[in-house]
Amino acid sequence: MTKARRLGVLTPVLYAVDPVIHTLTFEYVEGPSVKDVFLGIGSTGVFQERLTDIATQIGDAIGKLHDGGLVHGDLTTSNMLIRNGTNKLVLIDFGLSFTSTLPEDKAVDLYVLERALISMHSSCGNVMDLILAAYKKSSKQWSSTLNKLAQGTAVSVVLSLALKFTASYVCTTLISFIVFLLVGDELQCDKGAASEQWLDEPPFEKSVKDFDLMQWKKVVKDLGSLCCDGFCILQL
């Protein structure tokens, strides 16, 4: 926090450090979090003018941090306060912060904030665009950072689509491991080895108590074959 203040970013003042009882004493900042302000849109009449002001302060503060080689590490609206009386932005919780000049690290900082805004503050519209516009004005190194942010966003979209397709197979892969422990070499793990009988005659039409050990073993083997199909698809 001390380094952030030297860079011109408002943070709580550190009053004391006690190495014996391992405590830090900070200034208490009176005012709501940006999270509460943004969530109050509509119910408390927060208008575009105030959103623009807060977004501009956020982008300006992050730009100063990044140009000074400081990455916050946890940029969420819960870690931003609006000081009563002055309406100035105060950044808190630098527990995950670190020094870095890499554009990748700075881009991750912005990406964390972007995801927080999307998940918690979708009603705020283009607030991230406003933040990035202010960031570009504040940071002299914005170009490389925003290029990395754009690349990371594109990759995240591809991964998201891939995960939607493969999520169910993650579970089946874990199950297949258990199946191998149960039936060992008796299981034939070839692509397309799923039993047609499993598909045509689901074994669970009968009650559990009607199944003997051999029937359950057959069920487990067929389930394992299905799991292997899923695992093969993941390898494609």
The whole-number pLDDT of residue 122 equals 82
Domain spans in the chain, listed from the N-terminal domain onward: 2-140, 161-235
Confidence bin at 144 (pLDDT 50/70/90): very high
Return the CA Rg of the chain.
27
The whole-number pLDDT of residue 173 equals 54
Give the Cα separation of 178 and 176 in Å (integer).
Answer: 5
Which residue bears the tokens 């100063």?
A: 64
Buried b vs exposed e over 147-176: b needs ≥16 C-beta within 10 Å? ebbeebeeeeeeeeeeeeeeeebeebeebb
Q: What is the mean pLDDT of residues 163-189?
A: 52
Condensed to tens digits (0 to 9), the pLDDT of residues 91-142 reads 999 999 999 999 999 999 999 999 999 988 888 888 999 999 999 999 999 9
Name the CATH code of domain 2-140 (choices 1.10.645.10, 1.10.760.10, 1.10.150.310, 1.10.510.10).
Answer: 1.10.510.10
**Catalytic residue check, 53:** no
Q: Which of 36, 53, 74, 105 is catalytic?
A: 74
